[in-house]
Amino acid sequence: MNKIVVVITIGILAIVAIVYFTLDFPFNMDRGDFTEEYKIEERWDLPNRLEEISGMDFVDEDRMAAVQDEEGIIFIYNLSSKEIEQEIEFGKSGDYEGLAIVGKDAFVMRSDGVLFEIQNYLSDKPLVTQHETFIKAKHNAEGLCADLKNNRLLVAVKDRDPVNNDTKGIYAFDLETKQLQEKPVFAIQLDDEIFTNVKTKNKLRVMMPSEVNIHPETGEIYVLDAKNPKLLILTPTGETKKVYLLKEDKFYQPEGIAFRKNGSLFISNEGHSDPANILKVELQ
């Protein structure tokens, strides 16, 4: 009997150790006290229907297109009226993580690397096409944005990189060939000195991109991390420039980034004890 108890005890301790070292617990990062280098200018508390907003992009100055984690629907949310104006179905239930608008078309990224192209997405009968990529569920694609200057989309992986375990890659989907290029256009080095204050049990947790977008005026690349809330800024050529640590009481789970044409920054947060929200943020 004692041997059985010992075996069970060892098994339980092993499971606890595996969970501790592999799962995305917030205590994996030693954040400490830090000064908030940003100001929240406006806040929109979202309706329950948008409790898990995971990707967004501007339709125009007032309207935001957004997707949720589990529904194959694009929601059109009006920032002025604070209401959902339209719902556009494009697929079955799934883990949808990123959204990008290119003219009259919308693109939605599923976490397993399948990209949905919704042509004439605001029309009564949008045409939906699926594009397979080499990104798989284990890589967990979460970030998606339009890079119109280069006629491509940018795709960021959250978990294990398909090419290099020492980096988190940002890949380009060519809008002409409709193919995802196998070599990343940007690679975030997980041992970069900019992450000196980020202490984790697993190096893959140093940066876990939940969204990516391009500043319309500077061309800088903004990469969001929802698990250990922070915002990384890369230069237009991909060098690390600045990292902003985000207070969890204001950014519980930041999942989406969108810019107005004038460069105003908007960040969405999934709901928790408080409603999901969209924040207009000024970086300092």
How is residue 30 written in tokens?
A: 């030693």
Grade residue 33 by pLDDT with cuts at 50, 70 and 90: low
Residue 20 has pLDDT above 80, yes or no: no
The pLDDT mean for the chain works out to 89
Q: 233 CB contacts (<8 Å, ≥6 apart)? A: 220, 221, 222, 223, 240, 241, 242, 243, 244
Sheet containing strand 221-225, strands side by side: 209-214, 221-225, 230-234, 240-245
Smallest Cα–Cα separation from 34: which of 192, 202, 220, 228? 228
Per the confidence metrics, is the pTM higher than 0.85?
A: yes
- Looking up tokens 């999942």 gives 255
CA dist 227 and 200 (Å) reads 12
- Compare 20 and 34 and report the one with higher pLDDT: 34
80-84, long-range: CB < 8 A, 24+ apart: 82/44, 83/47, 84/47, 84/49, 84/50
Distance separating alpha carbons of residues 208 and 27, to the nearest angstrom: 15
Q: Measured between alpha carbons, how far is residue 238 from residues 132, 169, 186, 214, 281 in Å? A: 26, 11, 5, 11, 23
Q: For residue 122, what pLDDT is reported?
A: 97
Q: Which strand (E) or helix (H) includes residue 4? A: helix 2-22
DSSP character for 5? H
Scan for tokens 């969204």, then name that residue. 211
**Alpha carbon distances (Å) from 144 to 157, 210, 215, 240:** 9, 9, 14, 19
Lowest mean pLDDT across 27-31, 182-186, 234-238, 269-273: 27-31
The rounded distance, in Å, linking the Cα atoms of 274 and 93 is: 25
Distances (CA, A) of 257 to 26, 72, 134: 21, 19, 25
Query: Residue 23's pLDDT is what?
Result: 42
- CATH superfamily label, 30-283: TolB, C-terminal domain (2.120.10.30)
Please tell me the predicted confidence (pLDDT) of residue 261: 94
